[in-house]
Structure 1
Amino acid sequence: MTRDFRLLAAGQGFSWLGNAFQTVALAVAVITTGDGARDLGLVMATNILTLLAGTLFGGIWADRLQPQRVMVASDAIRFAATAGIAAMFATGGYHLTLLCVLTVVSAGAGSFFNPAMSALKPLLVPAEDRQKANATLSLLQSMCGVAGPATAGITVAVFGAPAGFAINAVSFLASLAAVAMIRVRAPRGPRASAIHELRSGWREISSRSWLFSNLMGASVYHVANGVILVLVQIVAFERLGGAHAIGWIAAAEGLGGVIGSAIGIRLRPRRLLFAGLLALPLMSVWAFAYVWPGTLAAIMIGAVIGYAGLLFYDVAWDTSLQENVPHRALGRVSSWDYMTSFVAMPIGNALAGPLSDRFGIDRVLTVCGCVLLVASTAMLLVPASRRLTRTGQPAPDPLSPHTDPLPAAVMPVDPMPDPVTAKSG
C-alpha cells in the first residue's frame, strides 16, 4: 500500500479507537445522569439529524476542494466540541440542551468528513487494489472495535464518562495530523451552482437501478435500526451489567467486523455486491439475540455473526461505488448515500422510548429485527443488484489520476441508461 494510504489508515485507526470511548461514555453518562432512553434517543437523533442536514453540502465541497482540507477542518471542529462535552460532564453539570448543541457542532463537522473521505480513498491506491484497500480499512476499524470498547468500558467504569470523551477528543487531533500529511491531489474541474451539482449527483444515482434500490432499501432498514440502537444500550445497561456489558458487546461487534473484513480481503467474487447482499440479513440475528435467549454470551455471538455480514456488505458496497461511479461525482454520490440511507434513523431513535414504554422492549426489538430481515432481503429482488459484476477498474473518469481509458469490452455496464453520461457526450 502507498504512503498516503498508510497515513489515512493510521489517522483513522486512532479516530476509530476514540469513537469506541465516545460510544460507551455517552451511553453511561446520559443513562446515569439523564432520563434514560428518552434523553439518549434525543441525543442520538440530534446527531443523525445534523449529519443529514450537512451531508449533501459536505459532498459538494468534497468534490470542489481537496478532500484533505475538508477532513482537517472537520477534525479540528470535532476536537473542540468533544472536549467541551468532556468538560461539561467533568464539572458535574449535565445540561441536555448544551449536550445537544455540542452534538450538533460535532456532527455538523462530521457530515463534511465522511463524503470527503469517500472521495479521498480511491485516490490513494491503484484501481485494482481498491477492494483490498476498502477491506483493510474495514478490518482496521473492526479491530479498533474489538480493542476499543472493552478498554473503554473499563476506563469509563474506573475513571468516569469524562475520561472517555477526553480520549475521543485527542483522537481527532491524531487524525488531523495524519490527514494533513497526505500528498495526493485530486484534479478538480469548474464549479457549478450548488443546486446543479446536487442534481447532477442525484442523477448519477437514479440512473443506476442497483444503486437507487439499495439506497431506498437501506432507508427502510434504518427505521428499525434507529430504534434498535437505542434499546440495546438500555438492555445492556439495565439487564446485563452496565458499562462492562456495553463494552463487551461492542467488542463482539468489532470481532464480527474483523471476520467480515478479513473475508472481504480474501474473497473476490465476480458478483461482489450480490455476495454482500447475501450476508447483510445476518444482522437480524444480532437483534433477535437481545430477546431470546437474552444472555450476554448469546448476544455477543449474535453480534459477531451480524457484524461479520454487515462489514462484508460494506466492503462490497464501497468497492461497487468506486468501480461504477465517476470520481468527479463520488463525493456527492456518497453524500446522497449517507443521507438516503440514514434519513429514517432519527425517527427510529426518537420513537425508541415511546414505543418501548407502550409495547415493551422485547416486543419492539422483535418487530424491528423482522424489519431488518425483510428490508435487507428485499434488496436482492432487484435484478441489477444480483447482476452487477466487478471489473477491477474504476468508472471511466478522465480526471482521476489512477484511471486509464477503458476499452468498451470492460467498461462497467448498468442495466439502466445513464442520462448524465449520455448528455455529456
Structure 2
Amino acid sequence: MTATLPAPAEAPPRPAHRDGNVLRWLAAYTASMIGDSVYYIALSWAAVQAGTPSQAGLVMAVSAVPRALLMLGGGVLADRLGPRRVVVGSDAVRCAAAFAVAALLFLTGPGLWPLAVLALVFGAVDAVFMPAVGALPARVTTRDQLTRVQGMRGLAIRFASVVGGPLGGLAVALGGATGAFALAGLLIALSVPLLVSVRVRALPAADAPDAGDTSSASASADGVRGGTAWRDLVGGLRYIRRHRVLGPLMLAIALGDLGFVGPLNVGLTLLADERGWGAAGMGWVLAGFGVGAGAVSLLLTVRGHLPHAGRVAGCAIIAGSVAIGALAFVPAVAGAAGIAVLVGLLAGLSGAVAGALLQTQADPALLGRVTAVSGLVSLGFAPLSMPLSAAAVGVWGTGPVFVVSAAVCGLGGVIALGVRDLRRAELPR
C-alpha cells in the first residue's frame, strides 16, 4: 500500500511524417520550391520577349555565377546566424525581388537589364539559401528521423517540379510575365510565416557524431567554431577533408553527379533526336525517371531507416551507372522509359542516403558549410559536364559518351564501397 507508483512512461517521439513541426517546414519548403519553378518560367519567358534567344540564354545563366562564387560563404553564414534565420531572410529577399520586377514590368514593359539584375540577385541569395536549407532539417527533428526527412524532401521536390511547370505556364498565359513573377513572389512569401512558426531545437553535444568514429576530424571541429569568417571557411574545408566519412562521401557525390547530369540532361535530348523519339518520347523517359525517384522518396518517408547505409549508397550508385549506360542502347521509347524508372529509383536512393549521411555524420555546428560544399559540387561543377557531353556526342556519338559517363558515375560507387569507414557508415535508428 505504501509502494511508490511508477512514473508514467514518456511518450515516444512522433515520426517525422506525423510531426506537425516537420510538416510546417515541409510545407514552407514546398511552397518555396514551387515559387522557384514559376520564377524560372517567368524569367525565361520575359527574357525571350525582351531579346534574342542567345540573350535570353545569357540572362538565364547569369544566376549561376554568384551562386557558384558565393556558395561556400553562404555555408559560413548559415552556421554563424542559424539556418532558419538565413532561410527566412533569403525567402524575404527573393519575394521582394520578384514583386519588384513584376511591378516594373507592369509599369514599363520587359527589358533585359532588369531581368539580368533579378537573375543576379536570385543567384546571390540562392548561394545563401541552399546551404541553410540543407542545414535546417537537423534543427527541426532528431537524427534518427533524418532519413525519413530526406524522403519527404524528395517528395516535395518532385511535387514542385510536377506542379510548378504547369502553374507557371498558366500564369504566363493569363497574366504574362508580370502575372507569373507576381505569383512566384506570392508563393515564396507563403513560406515565410510557415518558417517563422517552425520550432528550432537545440543541438546538444550528444547529437553530434561520436568522436571515436571521426578520428581527428571531430577533434578539429572544435577549432573551426568561431573566429573570422575566413577562418570558419578554411576550417570547414579542412574538417571535411580530414573526416573519415565526409571526405570520401563528397568525392563519391561529385563523381556520381558528374556522370549523371550530362546524360540525363543534354545527352537525353540528343539521344531522343537520334532515335526519332521526338519531344513526346523524351517526355516519357523523363517521366519514368520522375516516377522512380518519387517512389524511392515515398519508400524512405514511410520506412524511415535503411541499414548498411554506406553499402546501399555505393551499390545503388554502381547499379545506377549501369542503367545510365544502357539507356544509349535501347531503341524503343518503352524500353528507355522502363530503364529510366530504374535510374530514378537507384539515383534517388543513393542521393537520399548520401544526403542523410551528410546530415548525421557532420558536426551540427558545421552543417551549413558541409551542405555548401555538397551544393557547390552538384550545382557548380556537375553542370559543366553538360556542354562537354554535347560536344562529345557530336564527335563520338551517344553510345560512347553514355558509357564513359556511366563509368565516371560508377567510380563514385567504387569509392563508396572501397573506403572502409564510408562502406561501414550507418544511419541512426
TM-score band w.r.t. shorter chain: 0.7 to 0.9
Residue in 2 aligned with 1:423? Answer: none
Q: Confirm or deny: 8 A CA contact 1:26 1:161 kept in the other structure.
A: no
Match of residue 139, structure 1, among 155, 163, 178: 155
Residue in 1 aligned with 2:346? Answer: 309
CA RMSD of aligned residues (A): 4.1
Q: What are the within-5 Å matches in structure 2 for residues 169-248 of structure 1? A: 169-184=185-200, 186=202, 191-228=226-263, 230-231=265-266, 234-235=269-270
Distance in 2 between the 1:370 and 1:268 partners? 28
**Unaligned stretches of 5+ in structure 2?**
1-15, 205-221
Distance in 2 between the 1:351 and 1:160 partners? 38
Distance in 1 between the 2:111 and 2:198 partners? 39
Q: Confirm or deny: 8 A CA contact 2:37 2:168 kept in the other structure.
A: no
- The worse-fitting range, judged by mean Cα deviation, of 162-171 and 134-143 is 162-171
Judged with a 3 Å threshold, the aligned counterparts in structure 2 of structure 1 residues 127 and 374 are, in CA distance, closer, same or farther, namely closer
Distance in 2 between the 1:285 and 1:344 partners? 22
CA deviations on 1:27-56 (whole Å, 9 max, x unpaired) are 7777899777x7787566544432221211
Judged with a 3 Å threshold, the aligned counterparts in structure 2 of structure 1 residues 221 and 315 are, in CA distance, closer, same or farther, namely closer
Residue in 2 aligned with 1:58? Answer: 74
Judged with a 3 Å threshold, the aligned counterparts in structure 2 of structure 1 residues 373 and 184 are, in CA distance, closer, same or farther, namely closer
Q: TM-score, normalised by structure 1?
A: 0.74
2:27 counterpart letter in structure 1: A
Distance in 2 between the 1:324 and 1:262 partners? 23
Judged with a 3 Å threshold, the aligned counterparts in structure 2 of structure 1 residues 386 and 153 are, in CA distance, closer, same or farther, namely same
Residue in 1 aligned with 2:214? Answer: none
CA deviations on 1:102-159 (whole Å, 9 max, x unpaired) are 322112111111221222211212333222222222233333444444x358648966
- The worse-fitting range, judged by mean Cα deviation, of 287-296 and 315-324 is 287-296
2:341 counterpart letter in structure 1: V
Judged with a 3 Å threshold, the aligned counterparts in structure 2 of structure 1 residues 62 and 157 are, in CA distance, closer, same or farther, namely closer
Judged with a 3 Å threshold, the aligned counterparts in structure 2 of structure 1 residues 75 and 235 are, in CA distance, closer, same or farther, namely farther
Q: Confirm or deny: 8 A CA contact 2:140 2:198 kept in the other structure.
A: no
- The worse-fitting range, judged by mean Cα deviation, of 273-282 and 363-372 is 363-372
Q: Confirm or deny: 8 A CA contact 1:222 1:341 kept in the other structure.
A: yes
Distance in 2 between the 1:309 and 1:329 partners? 29
Match of residue 374, structure 1, among 386, 407, 410: 410
Q: Confirm or deny: 8 A CA contact 1:8 1:179 kept in the other structure.
A: yes
Distance in 2 between the 1:185 and 1:306 partners? 36
CA deviations on 1:71-130 (whole Å, 9 max, x unpaired) are 1121122234455777899988574x6655432211211111122122221121233322
Distance in 2 between the 1:368 and 1:57 partners? 34
Q: Confirm or deny: 8 A CA contact 2:131 2:369 kept in the other structure.
A: yes
Matched, 1:71 2:122: no
Distance in 1 between the 2:98 and 2:344 partners? 27
Q: TM-score, normalised by structure 2?
A: 0.73
Judged with a 3 Å threshold, the aligned counterparts in structure 2 of structure 1 residues 63 and 157 are, in CA distance, closer, same or farther, namely closer
2:345 counterpart letter in structure 1: A
Q: CA deviation at 1:212?
A: 1.2
Judged with a 3 Å threshold, the aligned counterparts in structure 2 of structure 1 residues 218 and 16 are, in CA distance, closer, same or farther, namely same
Residue in 1 aligned with 2:35? Answer: 18
Residue in 1 aligned with 2:356? Answer: 319
Q: CA deviation at 1:9?
A: 0.6
Distance in 2 between the 1:43 and 1:372 partners? 31
Secondary structure of the residue that 1:191 maps to in structure 2?
coil
Q: CA deviation at 1:215?
A: 1.4
Q: Confirm or deny: 8 A CA contact 2:257 2:409 kept in the other structure.
A: no
Judged with a 3 Å threshold, the aligned counterparts in structure 2 of structure 1 residues 25 and 87 are, in CA distance, closer, same or farther, namely same
Distance in 2 between the 1:34 and 1:221 partners? 36
Distance in 2 between the 1:241 and 1:166 partners? 34
Match of residue 317, structure 2, among 261, 280, 293: 280
Match of residue 359, structure 1, among 374, 395, 398: 395
Judged with a 3 Å threshold, the aligned counterparts in structure 2 of structure 1 residues 168 and 304 are, in CA distance, closer, same or farther, namely farther
Residue in 1 aligned with 2:123? Answer: 107
Q: CA deviation at 1:382?
A: 2.1
Distance in 1 between the 2:332 and 2:248 partners? 36
Judged with a 3 Å threshold, the aligned counterparts in structure 2 of structure 1 residues 225 and 373 are, in CA distance, closer, same or farther, namely closer
Q: CA deviation at 1:323?
A: 2.3
Q: CA deviation at 1:165?
A: 5.3
Distance in 2 between the 1:156 and 1:63 partners? 37
Distance in 2 between the 1:158 and 1:84 partners? 20
Secondary structure of the residue that 1:344 maps to in structure 2?
helix
- The worse-fitting range, judged by mean Cα deviation, of 371-380 and 246-255 is 246-255
When Rg is computed on C-alpha atoms for both structures, the one with the higher figure is 2
Matched, 1:116 2:151: no
**Unaligned stretches of 5+ in structure 1?**
393-425
- The worse-fitting range, judged by mean Cα deviation, of 313-322 and 361-370 is 361-370
Q: Confirm or deny: 8 A CA contact 1:41 1:352 kept in the other structure.
A: no
1:117 counterpart letter in structure 2: V
